[in-house]
Amino acid sequence: MTKKQKIDKIKKSFLQHYQDAKTELKYRNIYELLIAVMLSAQCTDKRVNIVTPALFAKYPSVDILAKADIDEVKELIKSVSFFNNKAQNLIKMANQVMNNFAGNIPTTQEELKTLSGVGQKTANVVLIEYFEANYMAVDTHVFRTSHRLGLSDAKTAIRTEEELTKLFKTDLSTLHQAFVLFGRYICKALKPDCNICFVKDFCISKNNFKPV
């Protein structure tokens, strides 16, 4: 089997198994989605979904969040990892949106990346989920599973993103969500469920790969 044939088979399998893949984060608009994605860094979606209802109720819009008291935001998200830094970034982000984007959440990768607490992965996830943009975002699940399948041997998430984008080219938004769900529920870091894996024939290692 050629490398192209392998890529095509893996891509087809993921698109068949996860044709309607979406984030498990709960949100109602792009403002809430951005906040949820920012909070989800190094934290589970389940935990984020527990804290965001109260956060969104108290700060339902970016202009209100921009005026928030830092200690009150910290209290609402204290069960989320790195809540001190995330609280600061949320308020800074809101002020930047108000001052630089007339109160509208930006909708391009480069503009999103100018916001505090928003790197390329966060920007891509927002664009993938909200607009189904043709981007790949690499979190721990995507990194681990793509390395186990021999799709990448890159040491960093950004480089892995570049390699996967070059390999797959299209349907990247669905593939990103598919790899996340696959890594979360099947190709788990510890004790992967290989018996139900639909791409086990392509697996080259069960090591728990992590970006440097």
Contact 170, 130 (CB under 8 A): no
Residues 73 and 12 in one domain: no
List per-residue pLDDT tens for the chain, 212 residues long: 899 999 999 999 999 999 988 999 999 999 999 999 999 999 999 999 999 999 999 999 999 999 999 999 999 999 999 999 999 999 999 999 999 999 999 999 999 999 999 999 999 999 999 999 999 999 999 999 999 999 999 999 999 999 999 999 999 999 999 999 999 999 999 999 999 999 999 999 999 999 98
Range of the domain at 170: 3-21+135-202
Residues 118 and 194 in one domain: no
State pTM to two decimals: 0.94
Residues 90 and 120 in one domain: yes
Contact 79, 50 (CB under 8 A): yes
Per DSSP, the residues of 45-68 read HHHHHHHHHHHHHH--SHHHHHT-
Q: How far apart are the first and last CA of the chain?
A: 31
Residues 166 and 124 in one domain: no
Residue type, 118: V
Question: What residues act catalytically?
Answer: 121, 139
Number of separate domains in the chain: 2
Is 207 inside a domain boundary? no
Residues 52 and 123 in one domain: yes
Residues 35 and 115 in one domain: yes
Residues 14 and 36 in one domain: no
Is 142 inside a domain boundary? yes
Residues 143 and 161 in one domain: yes
